[in-house]
Structure 1
Amino acid sequence: MRKLILAISALALAGTAAFADPIADRKALMKANGKAAGALSAIVKGEQPFDAAAVLAALTTLSENASKIDVAALFPAGSDKGDTTASPKIWENTADFQARVDKLKTDTAAAVAAPPADVDSLKATLGTIGNNCGGCHENFRIKKG
């Protein structure tokens, strides 16, 4: 009976994955990244005290989310249509887009492996990660309004 339940659960999960919405999935990742980056930014700006555990948690979120960015799965052909700000440049220059994603993965993983110990080192770390995000958004995102 247990094997039957596991098999049915696996099939249900596989069916759900087949109907995944790449636009919604990437929006959810970006929203979570924005929240994590916002928490780090508040510390850098002095709006929140430096808390090593909170910094590591936010950096871990950024790193885990970066590792989930599978360009082929989240940016399949045709997913530039609909409620998205993804620029057609993603599909025109996928190699550059992938390189930027890979750099984000590397930089966020490095930040988790050696987390900042104080506000000044957090500023440098956030600057590196922010440059990754900003560069990608500048080149591969359509600005709203």
Structure 2
Amino acid sequence: MSAARPFTFAPLVVAIAAIFAVPAIAANLDAIKERQHLMKENGKATKAGAAMLKGQAEFSPDKAKEVFTQMHEVAMKFGDYFPEDSKTGNKTEAAPAIWNKPDAFKAELMKYQKDTQAALDANPQDLKAFGQSFAMVTKNCKGCHQEFRVDKR
């Protein structure tokens, strides 16, 4: 009769393990969703800046500041959303290199932070100055995406 006891506890052990696994999965997806949200915000800022450069939207120093502020805010938060347990799920485009080369990823992120701050500090007052700062900032996007992003579109 004592041999049957381990089997009666097996479903209970599985149920308890499942309960504790759910918060871990939710944390993964929360981190992935937040970094996806931040990249969408960055994309909106990039599109607004590109529209000004193409003459599709009117340039103003206030709008330029808004674009660079939004990009800088993303730059300052983005690195916080790459825990080890967020490598997969929710159609993430984060490349394995983020975790395989953490120092290189941090260096890219710090460069983006520095360049977005420099663009803010430059406070461009005309389209030409805005274009120069915008080119410097968006060059970071391309560089980071080449090594640290897997395009799943």
1:114-145, Cα deviation, whole Å (9 max, x unpaired): 22121111111111111101110111100224
Say whether the 8 Å CA contact 2:60–2:125 is kept in structure 1.
no
Instruction: Kindly state the Cα deviation for residue 69 of structure 1 after the two structures are TM-superposed.
Output: 2.2
Structure 1-normalised TM-score?
A: 0.81
Paired residues, what number?
Answer: 126
Query: Which residues of 2 match residues 47-126 of structure 1 at below 5 A?
Result: 47-70=56-79, 73-83=80-90, 84-126=92-134
Distance 1:31 1:69 in 2: 12
The structure with more helix, counted as a fraction of residues: 2
Distance 1:42 1:115 in 2: 18
Q: Which has the larger radius of gyration?
A: 2
Q: Which amino acid aligns with 2:148?
A: F
Instruction: Kindly state the Cα deviation for residue 67 of structure 1 after the two structures are TM-superposed.
Output: 1.0
Q: Secondary structure at the match of 1:69?
A: helix
Distance 1:136 1:50 in 2: 27
Sequence identity percentage: 37
Query: Aligned-pair RMSD on alpha carbons?
Result: 1.6
Could you list the runs of 5+ residues in structure 2 that have no partner in the other structure?
1-25
1:141 aligns with 2:146: no
1:41 aligns with 2:24: no
Instruction: Kindly state the Cα deviation for residue 99 of structure 1 after the two structures are TM-superposed.
Output: 0.2
Distance 1:132 1:27 in 2: 17
Q: Which one is further off, 93-102 or 48-57?
A: 48-57
Q: Which amino acid aligns with 1:42?
A: A
Distance 2:117 2:34 in 1: 21
1:29 aligns with 2:38: yes
Distance 1:69 1:31 in 2: 12
Instruction: Kindly state the Cα deviation for residue 78 of structure 1 after the two structures are TM-superposed.
Output: 2.5
Q: Secondary structure at the match of 1:47?
A: coil
